[in-house]
Amino acid sequence: MTSCAFIDFIQILKPWLNDNYISQARIDAEEKFTIMFVDGGQQEFTITDCSTSDLDEAVQLLRSNGIQITKGSC
């Protein structure tokens, strides 16, 4: 699992979004993001400094790029 600041998380996501590399994503009750890739791999992120609006922004970014995101307990 990777811990990072919100701005770093968004910067990590951008190249993956441009390359259509993410198949789906999940955010659990503890606000941990799990990103699943088209090749079957996955990466987990804990964002250390984000608010609810930041999380909503990340969810919207993923959805606007056609990525299914599941929210709730995992």
Asked if the model's pLDDT at residue 74 lies above 70, the reply is: no
- The number of domains in the chain is 1
Mean pLDDT for the chain overall: 87
Asked if the model's pLDDT at residue 13 lies above 70, the reply is: yes
DSSP string over 5-18 = -HHHHHHHHHHHHH
Q: Domain span at residue 31?
A: 2-71
End-to-end CA distance of the chain: 15
Partners of residue 26 on adjacent β-strands: 34, 70
For the stretch 18-52, pLDDT in tens is 888 999 999 887 778 899 999 999 999 998 887 88
Nearest Cα residue to 59 out of 2, 9, 8, 4: 9
CATH number at residue 11: 3.30.720.210
- Alpha-carbon torsion 42, 58, 8, 28, what sign? negative
Once rounded to an integer, what is the mean pLDDT over residues 49-74? 84
In this prediction, residue 23 carries a pLDDT of 94
Distance CA 33, CA 1 (A): 10
